[in-house]
Chains A and B, each alone.
Chain A
C-alpha cells in the first residue's frame, strides 16, 4: 500500500534512542542516530534474524545485540563485522530500510520501497499529544472518533486523517495490526506554554475514553 502513515511523534524518539512499533503487522525498529537522523527499518538483523530493537545505537550506527554487527544510519549498510574486523562487509549485507519523513511533529513511514514523495510539508509549530494505543481495529477507533470527540463533531478527511477545524486538531490512526491501532493526534499552531500541561491532560483523558469505547466495541 503506497501511502504514508504516522508512526511516532518526532520527540518520542530522541537521539540515541531505539524504539519499537508495528505498521500493518510489519515490525519496525525506529531509531535516531546521535546526529539526529531518524530511521525506520525492518526489525530483523540480516545476519541471524534477531530483532534489531534488542540492539543499541552507537553514534551513527545501530548495533545488533546478537553478534554486534553494525549498520549505518540512512542506508542500512553493514559497516562492521566483529569476527572479520579487517574485511569490508559486502554491499549486499544491509538492513531493510523503509522510506521515512518527518514533518516537524510526526514521523511518517511508507512500507513501499519506491514510495511517493511525502505529501506532508514541514509544520514545526504543531504540538504532538500523547499517542494512545488501542486494542481495536482502525475502523472501530475511527467510528468512535466520528461519533464525537469531547462533544465536538469530527470532520472526515482522507481514509485515516480526521480533523476538528475549530480546535485545529488532527488525528492520525496507525494500523498496528488488524486488531490494534495507535491514535496519534496533534494540535495545529502554537501552544500557550502556561496551558500546555492542562491541554495535554484534557486530550489524554478524552482519547483514553475513546480508546475504552473502541476496545469495548471491538
Chain B
C-alpha cells in the first residue's frame, strides 16, 4: 500500500490526498509534525527526501517527492480512464506540464503568503501577494476564455486533469495569506466545478460545494 508522508494543513499534501481519493486508491497517511516540530527536517525524514519537503510517497519501495511529480505518477499508474494524465495526447500533456509549472508559482507566492500569515514564516509578504495576484489574474483570464470556447477545465474541454488539482489548493487557500479572490469570478466558477468532481474531499479552509 502507498504511504503518504502527510501534513493536514499543506496544500501540496492535500492535492495528493485529493487525487488518491478521486482514483479510489487505498493509502496510509503518516501524519508529520510539520509545525512546530519540524519533523520534515529530522534526520530520519531527510533520508527519504533530502530537500526536507512534504509530500513524499512510498509506493512499494518507489520513493517520490514533489507534489506535481507525484500527481503525474499516480495518474499514470492508477487512472484506468486515462483522463487525468492523457498520455496519448501530446498537446494536452504539454499544456498540463505548463500548468504544473504554474502551480509551483502559486506555491511560491500564494502559498508563501499563507505560511507567513499562519505559521509566521519570514518572507517578503508584499512581493508574495503581488506575485500571487499576477498569477491569479492570468488564471482568471485563461479560464474565462476557456469557458467562452466551451472548455470547463484548465487544459482539456471535457475532463479535468491533474493540472486542475495541482493549481486548486493554493488558489483556494489564498485568503489565508491576505489575497482576496473577489477580482477573479471565473476562478470561482472553475473551483466550484472542481468541488463537484466525484471523490472530491475538502481540507481545513476549503469547503465543499453542493452536489448539483
The residues of B that contact A12 with a CB separation of less than 8 Å are 185-186, 189
Complex-state Cα separation, A18 to B189, whole angstroms: 8
Residue contact B210 to A201, C-beta cutoff 8 Å: no
The residues of B that contact A22 with a CB separation of less than 8 Å are 182
Query: Counting CB contacts under 8 A, is B33 at the interface?
Result: no
Query: Counting CB contacts under 8 A, is B1 at the interface?
Result: no
Which residue from A14, A63, A196 sits with its C-beta under 8 Å from B210? A63
- B 185-199 binary contact with A (CB < 8 Å = 1; else 0): 110110010000000
Residue contact B145 to A20, C-beta cutoff 8 Å: no
Q: How far is the CB of A208 from chain B (nearest CB, A)?
A: 8
Residue contact A20 to B144, C-beta cutoff 8 Å: no
Complex-state Cα separation, A131 to B148, whole angstroms: 13
Query: Counting CB contacts under 8 A, is B212 at the interface?
Result: yes
Residue contact A133 to B210, C-beta cutoff 8 Å: no
Complex-state Cα separation, A34 to B210, whole angstroms: 11
* Residues 40 to 54 of chain A near chain B (Cβ within 8 Å): 54
Residue contact B188 to A57, C-beta cutoff 8 Å: no
Residue contact A133 to B148, C-beta cutoff 8 Å: no
Complex-state Cα separation, A125 to B104, whole angstroms: 42
Complex-state Cα separation, A86 to B188, whole angstroms: 35
Contact A17-B192, Cβ < 8 Å, known A56-B210, A58-B210, A201-B145:
yes
Complex-state Cα separation, A17 to B210, whole angstroms: 10
* Residues 171 to 212 of chain B near chain A (Cβ within 8 Å): 181-186, 188-189, 192, 207-210, 212
Query: Counting CB contacts under 8 A, is A16 at the interface?
Result: yes
- What residue in chain B is nearest A54 (Cβ atoms)? B207
The residues of A that contact B145 with a CB separation of less than 8 Å are 130, 197, 200-201, 204
Query: Counting CB contacts under 8 A, is B43 at the interface?
Result: no
Number of A-B contacts (CB under 8 A): 50
- What residue in chain B is nearest A134 (Cβ atoms)? B183
Residue contact B141 to A20, C-beta cutoff 8 Å: no
Contact A20-B212, Cβ < 8 Å, known A12-B189, A197-B145, A200-B148:
no
The residues of A that contact B189 with a CB separation of less than 8 Å are 12, 14, 17, 19
Query: Counting CB contacts under 8 A, is A21 at the interface?
Result: yes
* Residues 137 to 186 of chain B near chain A (Cβ within 8 Å): 141, 144-145, 148-149, 181-186
Query: Counting CB contacts under 8 A, is A176 at the interface?
Result: yes
Which residue from B141, B209, B212 sits with its C-beta under 8 Å from A130? B141
Question: Would you list the 10 A-B pairs with minimal beta carbon distance, nearest first?
Answer: A133-B183, A56-B210, A58-B210, A56-B209, A130-B144, A65-B207, A12-B185, A54-B207, A16-B212, A57-B210
| A/B interface sample: 17 pairs, CB < 8 A | A8-B185, A12-B189, A16-B210, A17-B189, A18-B192, A19-B185, A20-B188, A63-B210, A65-B207, A130-B144, A133-B184, A176-B182, A196-B148, A197-B149, A200-B145, A200-B148, A204-B145
